[in-house]
Amino acid sequence: MTLDDLTAREAIRQLRIDYSTAFDTMDEAVVRRNCAEDIVCEYPMAFGGVYEGVEAVLGLFRDNWRHCRAPLETLHYIANHSIELTAPDSARGHCLLLDLVTRQHEGSAIATQGGEVNPLLLIGRYDDVYVRQGGQWKFARIALTMLWPTRSD
């Protein structure tokens, strides 16, 4: 593995962290910056299914953010990130997701089965495709598979 390979892998790892943090902090600019214009997001049907293009993804995120009263009411923890460089400007990877809801509001669409005493919303796995555009790594595809409380595979 070369220094360029290690640098690319670390940039992709940071991309995944930035994506999760941007969702949790409701930072639309960071989401936009980290997604290719023609991104395809494949979410379980409970989250709307397939979204094509960054504007469609942002529309989904805005719909979710309307249920949050402040940033960090959701927390997306990622772990076990594995990255495979497939070409100088492309890669694929996968990681595990723990999705928590720190504050739950009456009538909100974002609520856990356990309510306030158990903030765990879901356990999942992201399968991603990354592209480097203009020197910056971006998401070309994100596929989320739910593993708990129900499986979407």
What does the pLDDT look like over 94-130, one tens digit per residue? 999 999 999 887 877 888 888 888 999 999 999 999 9
Q: What are phi and psi of 33, to 5 degrees?
A: -65, -30
Note the pLDDT of residue 126. Answer: 98
Q: Which two tokens stand for residue 115?
A: 């309510």
CA distances from residue 152 to 41, 82, 125 in whole angstroms, order as listed: 15, 21, 10
Residues in contact with 73: Cβ distance below 8 Å, sequence separation at least 6, in sequence order: 101, 102, 103, 110
Partner residues linked to 131 by β-bridges: 90, 138
Cβ contact 16:31 at 8 Å: no
What is the H or E stretch that residue 111 is in? Answer: none
Q: What are phi and psi of 85, to 5 degrees?
A: -75, 125
Q: Which two tokens stand for residue 88?
A: 């100088």
Give dist(CA 17, CA 4) in Å, integer: 20
- Beta strand pairing call for 74-87 and 90-101: antiparallel
Q: What is the CA radius of gyration of the chain?
A: 16
Note the pLDDT of residue 12. Answer: 98
Q: What is the mean pLDDT of the chain?
A: 95
- Residue 16 gets which letter from DSSP? H
Note the pLDDT of residue 111. Answer: 84
Q: What is the pLDDT of residues 13-39, one digit of tens each?
A: 999 999 999 999 999 999 999 999 999
Note the pLDDT of residue 152. Answer: 79
Cβ contact 142:41 at 8 Å: yes
